[in-house]
């Protein structure tokens, strides 16, 4: 089919689908808008065109997408990559709702030994059991199990009835007292189950700590407190009366003392008061330092932290010292906060922290109402209710049960078993070969770009080019991670702890995640912290000098031969993202500068400072109409990688256009755009987002529109 300008138009189903996505992202009157003069309506890439010496009229990626994707309750960001995650989730849903794969489609299973096959079938049965308990969860069962969890917490931190309303002012708990022992037991339970409290405790990565007896534990703020935005709004609960009321509703439904609604409201006021006082007690000028267990008990006698540490490190020897982040807060939390709070409030505080974390798995009306009103957010910025929703259940199974704050990138217990079946269904060898070829093409062009960078002194230029050439590429997943025995070994006792209860399964998975994390005390893991195969993302890991592109992303970069996309779509949409990871090899980070001489480092720093100032000047409207600034310093590394990635993918695509056999066709409905504009429209399609608070390391709306 020929376009209006005589150029052939691609009419395949894949091209029509791509054209629909691009047109939907544009303002409805995009043919009438000049993006260079109306930036608010159409994000012009004038700066990028100048940097790449493009002679185009304007790259139009307009406000149509943002208008069609407003915030929903609980969302901090709306991203075009959500649709890719949904497509991955649909593939996994097909697997989990079917029989164990056999026949010609089971190309991966045919390579397994009998022992591996037995483990593979066992893994599949576990996946189906967890999935079915999640999508078929009964609200009454979920609420009952949440009530049982509250009873466990009440038993760990008991509150004698005669002390419910007594404040412990000036009573300075001694470590040998009953309540100090109870505090140690309760904190240990929370650490074991990955539940948040006012402290966090975890091993440091042994790959970054060659002396295993020195500071191999990190004690810090609870995850809710270690949040910049939360710390900047210490009184966020004060004007929000709904938070009190919603919390009182949940407490009255699950508290083992069967509190009245009024009593729950009073208790919730105490919990919120304690939350606010804890946030206010956090100070920025409280540097981390190594502290012995004895010193921890001296500065924080209420917390019994030595008991927690010894319980978690057994049977390994406890460390000589613990790297303690914000030790002033730890001491203040012990004396000024918990020492002046009723035992009933402290107990309810622990209950409330557990409720907020477990609520997405309950499925009851009272917990769902709280999540939808207050916004329990998962890692993708969506309201998290992991009950009855297949997509949400699959996401939680892949990333781990507490997906708001995964312990580590590879902390998921089920993610690897899940990923093995996803790879078999959606990332066959042909797709791996195609995506690997794309990545190698980008790698070659980035090396050429470095070699041509005359502004960079030759020694630094040669060193960087060598690092580009030598980077390890892991496409889809490392083969060892697809071994069913590997997945089974991550939680050998998990099968015995699974049930038909969604809540209990979430806790079992969390315990397995935590137990594996704590094995870092005695075992050194693989040098590559791998992303689970179903992850829709990619990552450069400087410590291993490796780029990991999980199958969840790589599958889209390796389209099947019978349904090809134009190269500007593949290189613009996926190539720019993959080349972004290559760009981190020269992003100004500490890993970039290893072995550089001072003059070369100074030249790079000058350029980075200029870029930082440029992004500091960008502003956008917040949800309440306020003017927000991009954080140039906080987004610098990602901005540099974006610019590298865009330039490299564009150069690689241009090379293809010089060969008749690989020259692109236009898209239906977009015949008026040049090929270059279609390339940049493809880039912008991946970067589209409706941002919330500017805490993301990416510059969001300005990633390709600055």
Tell me which H or E stretch contains 621. Answer: strand 619-621
Q: Are residues 185 and 288 in the same domain?
A: yes
In this structure, are residues 35 and 692 in contact, taking their beta carbons and an 8 Å threshold? no
3-state secondary structure of 681: helix
Question: Has residue 439 been placed in a domain?
Answer: no
Task: Say how far apart CA 245 and CA 265 lie, in whole Å.
Answer: 7
Q: Domain check: are 214 and 345 in the same one?
A: yes
- HSE value, Cβ hemisphere, 13 Å, CA-based, for 303: 29
DSSP letters for 577-616: HHHHHHHGGGSSSTTTTTT--HHHHHHHHHHHHHHHHHHH
**524-553 confidence digits (pLDDT tens):** 555 556 688 999 889 998 888 999 999 999
Tell me which residue of 656, 676, 665, 682 sits closest to 11, measured CA to CA: 665
Task: Examine the pLDDT at 63 and tell me if it is beyond 70.
Answer: no
Higher pLDDT, 224 or 313: 313
pLDDT of residue 607 exceeding 90, the answer is yes
Helical pair 114-135 and 390-399, crossing angle rounded to 10 deg: 130
Above 90 in pLDDT, residue 563? no
Whether residue 382 is predicted with pLDDT greater than 70 in this model: the reply is no
Of residues 212 and 216, the one with the higher pLDDT is 216
Name the residue with higher pLDDT: 314 or 480: 480
Q: Report if residue 337 sits inside a domain.
A: yes
Whether the bond between 315 and the residue before it is cis, its omega within 30 degrees of 0, is yes
Within a domain: 409: no
**Token pair recorded at residue 446:** 């980035």
Instruction: State the Cα torsion 68-70-72-77 to the nearest 10°.
Output: 110
Q: Is the pLDDT of residue 231 over 50?
A: no
Is the pLDDT at 228 greater than 80? The verdict is no
Residue 432 within any structural domain of the chain: no
Does residue 632 have a pLDDT over 70? yes
Q: Find out whether 660 and 108 touch, Cβ atoms under 8 Å.
A: no
Asked whether the beta carbons of 401 and 509 are under 8 A apart, the reply is yes
pLDDT value, residue 223: 65
Alpha-carbon dihedral angle through residues 484, 487, 493, 496, given to the nearest 10 degrees: -60
Q: Please, which residues have CB within 8 angstroms of residue 430's CB and are 6 or more apart in sequence?
A: 558, 560, 561
Q: Specify the 3-state DSSP secondary structure of 377.
A: strand
Indicate whether 205 and 339 sit together in one domain: yes
DSSP-assigned letters across all residues of 84-119: HHHHHHHHHHHHHTSPPP-GGG-TTGGG--HHHHHH
Return the pLDDT at 165: 43
Cα dihedral 379/380/383/385 (nearest 10): -60
Report the pLDDT averaged over residues 119-146: 94
The mean pLDDT of 598-611, rounded to a whole number, is 94
Find out whether 74 and 383 touch, Cβ atoms under 8 Å.
yes
Looking at 335, 362, 389, which one is the last position of a domain? Answer: 362
Please check whether residue 441 lies inside any domain of the structure.
no
Residue 246 belongs to what H/E stretch? Answer: helix 241-254
| Mean pLDDT score, 640-645 | 93
The answer to the question of residue 544 being in a domain is no
- Token pair 């079938």 is found at 121
Give the mean pLDDT of 54-62.
Answer: 37
In this predicted structure, the answer to whether residue 639 has a pLDDT above a threshold of 70 is yes
**Are both 162 and 309 inside the same structural domain?**
yes
484 falls in which pLDDT band (50, 70, 90)? very high
For the chain, give the percent of residues with pLDDT over 70.
Answer: 75
Q: Which of 7-16, 155-164, 465-474, 486-495 has the lowest mean pLDDT?
A: 155-164
pLDDT for res 142: 93
Tell me: do 162 and 61 sit in the same domain.
Answer: no
Of the candidate ranges 114-118, 186-190, 239-243, 582-586, the one whose mean pLDDT is the lowest: 239-243
Least confident of 93-102, 116-125, 168-177, 576-585: 168-177
Average confidence score pLDDT of the chain = 79
Label the pairing between strands 689-691 and 77-79.
antiparallel
The residue from 362, 378, 397 where one domain ends is: 362
Of 171-175, 244-248, 419-423, 547-551, least confident by mean pLDDT is 171-175
pLDDT of residue 7: 66
446 belongs to a structural domain? no
pLDDT of residue 168: 45
Same domain, 344 and 258: yes
Quote helix, strand, coil % in the chain, to nearest 5: 55, 5, 40
The 10s digit of each residue's pLDDT in 64-97 is: 544 555 544 444 444 556 778 888 999 999 999 9
Based on its alpha-carbon atoms, the radius of gyration of the chain, rounded to whole angstroms, reads 27
Higher pLDDT pick, 318 / 448: 448
* Domain span including residue 333: 145-362
pTM (whole model) above 0.75: yes
- The answer on 149 and 60 residing in a single domain is no
Indicate if 173 and 292 belong to the same structural domain. yes
- 52's tokens: 């790449």
pLDDT band, residue 425 (cuts 50/70/90):
very high
Q: Tell me what pLDDT residue 703 has.
A: 53
3-class secondary structure, 408: coil
Taking the C-alpha atoms of residue 326 and residue 536, their distance in angstroms, rounded to an integer, is: 34
Q: What is the pLDDT of residue 402?
A: 74
- In the block, residue with structure tokens 């695509």: 653
Residue 476's pLDDT is what? 92
Q: Which of 629, 628, 655, 638 is nearest to 704 (CA)?
A: 638
CA distance 192 to 4: 65
Q: How far is CA 115 from CA 105, 490, 494, 551, 562, in A?
A: 20, 16, 18, 25, 37
DSSP-based three-state secondary structure for 511: helix
d(CA 589, CA 566): 35
pLDDT at position 54 = 31
DSSP single-letter state for residue 531: P
- In the DSSP assignment, the letter for residue 620 is E
- The answer on pLDDT for 259 being more than 50 is yes
Can you read off the two tokens belonging to residue 433? 């070969």
Where does a domain end: 346, 362, 378? 362
The count of structural domains within the chain is: 2
Bigger pLDDT: 217 or 391?
391
Token pair of 173 as six digits: 């708990």
pLDDT at 372 over 80: no
Residue 380 — φ and ψ, nearest 5°?
Answer: -100, 10
Q: Specify the pLDDT at position 164.
A: 41
Q: Are residues 164 and 43 in the same domain?
A: no
The answer, yes or no, to whether residue 45 has pLDDT greater than 50, is: no
**Element containing residue 221 per DSSP (H, E):** strand 217-221
**Does one domain contain both 183 and 325?**
yes
In a domain, 135, yes or no: no
Q: Which of 439-443, 463-467, 676-680 has the lowest mean pLDDT?
A: 676-680
Whichever domain contains 648, its CATH number is: 3.40.390.10
Higher local confidence (pLDDT), 517 or 81? 517
Are residues 39 and 158 part of one domain? no
Give the CATH number of the domain where residue 225 resides.
Answer: 1.10.1380.10
Give the Cα separation of 42 and 360 in Å (integer).
38
Q: Identify whether residues 189 and 330 lie together within a single domain.
A: yes
């Amino acid at each position: 089919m020929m376009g209006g300008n005589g150029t052939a138009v691609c009419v395949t189903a894949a091209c029509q689908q791509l054209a629909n996505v691009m047109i939907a992202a544009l303002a409805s009157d995009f043919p009438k808008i000049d993006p260079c003069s109306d930036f608010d309506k159409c994000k012009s890439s004038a700066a990028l065109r100048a940097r790449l010496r493009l002679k185009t009229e304007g790259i139009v990626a307009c406000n149509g997408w943002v208008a069609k994707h407003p915030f929903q309750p609980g969302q901090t960001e709306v991203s075009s990559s959500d649709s890719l995650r949904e497509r991955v989730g649909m593939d996994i849903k097909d697997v989990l709702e079917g029989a164990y794969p056999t026949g010609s489609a089971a190309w991966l299973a045919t390579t397994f030994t009998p022992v591996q096959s037995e483990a593979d079938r066992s893994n599949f049965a576990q996946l189906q059991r967890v999935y079915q308990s999640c999508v078929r969860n009964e609200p009454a069962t979920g609420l009952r199990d949440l009530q049982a969890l509250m009873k466990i917490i009440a038993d760990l931190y008991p509150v004698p009835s005669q002390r419910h309303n007594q404040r412990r002012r000036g009573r300075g708990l001694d470590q040998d007292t009953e309540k100090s022992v109870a505090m140690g037991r309760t904190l240990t339970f929370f650490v074991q189950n990955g539940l948040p409290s006012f402290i966090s405790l975890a091993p440091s990565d042994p790959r970054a700590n060659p002396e295993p007896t020195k500071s191999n534990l990190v004690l810090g703020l609870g995850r809710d407190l270690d949040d910049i935005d939360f710390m900047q709004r210490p009184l966020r609960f004060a004007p929000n009366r709904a938070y009190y009321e919603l919390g009182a509703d949940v407490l009255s439904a699950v508290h083992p003392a069967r509190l009245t609604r009024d009593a729950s409201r009073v208790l919730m006021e105490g919990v919120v008061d304690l939350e606010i006082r804890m946030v206010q007690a956090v100070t920025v000028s409280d540097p981390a330092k190594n502290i012995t267990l004895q010193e921890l008990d001296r500065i924080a006698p209420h917390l019994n932290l030595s008991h927690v540490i010894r319980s978690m490190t057994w049977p390994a020897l406890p460390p000589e010292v613990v790297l303690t982040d914000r030790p002033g807060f730890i001491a203040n939390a012990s004396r000024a906060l918990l020492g002046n709070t009723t035992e009933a409030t402290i107990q309810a505080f622990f209950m409330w922290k557990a409720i907020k974390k477990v609520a997405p798995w309950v499925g009851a009306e009272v917990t769902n109402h709280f999540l939808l009103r207050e916004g329990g957010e998962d890692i993708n910025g969506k309201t998290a209710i992991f009950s009855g929703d297949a997509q949400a259940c699959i996401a939680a199974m892949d990333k781990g049960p507490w997906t708001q704050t995964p312990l580590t990138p590879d902390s998921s217990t089920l993610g690897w078993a899940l990923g093995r079946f996803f790879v078999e269904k959606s990332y066959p060898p042909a797709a791996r070969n195609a995506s690997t070829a794309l990545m190698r093409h980008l790698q070659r062009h980035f090396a050429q770009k470095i070699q041509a960078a005359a502004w960079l002194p030759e020694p630094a230029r040669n060193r960087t080019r060598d690092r580009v050439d030598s980077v390890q590429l892991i496409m889809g997943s490392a083969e060892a991670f697809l071994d069913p025995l590997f997945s089974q070994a991550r939680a050998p006792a998990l099968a015995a702890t699974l049930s038909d209860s969604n809540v209990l399964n979430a806790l079992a998975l969390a315990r397995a995640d935590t137990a594996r994390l704590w094995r870092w005390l005695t075992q050194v893991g693989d040098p590559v912290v791998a992303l689970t195969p179903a992850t829709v993302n990619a990552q450069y890991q400087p410590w291993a000098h490796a780029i990991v592109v999980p199958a969840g992303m790589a599958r889209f970069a390796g389209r099947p031969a019978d349904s090809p996309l134009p190269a500007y779509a593949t290189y613009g949409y996926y190539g720019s993202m993959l080349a972004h990871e290559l760009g981190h090899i020269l992003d100004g980070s500490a890993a970039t500068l290893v072995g550089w001489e001072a003059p070369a480092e100074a030249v790079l720093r000058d350029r980075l400072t200029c870029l930082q100032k440029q992004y500091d000047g960008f502003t956008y409207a917040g949800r309440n109409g306020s003017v927000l600034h991009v954080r140039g310093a906080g987004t610098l590394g990602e901005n540099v990688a974006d610019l590298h990635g865009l330039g490299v993918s564009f150069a690689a695509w241009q090379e293809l256009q010089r060969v008749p056999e690989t020259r692109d066709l236009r898209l239906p409905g977009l015949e008026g755009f040049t090929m270059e504009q279609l390339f940049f429209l493809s880039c912008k399609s991946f970067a589209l987002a409706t941002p919330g608070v500017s805490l993301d390391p990416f510059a969001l709306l300005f990633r390709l529109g600055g």
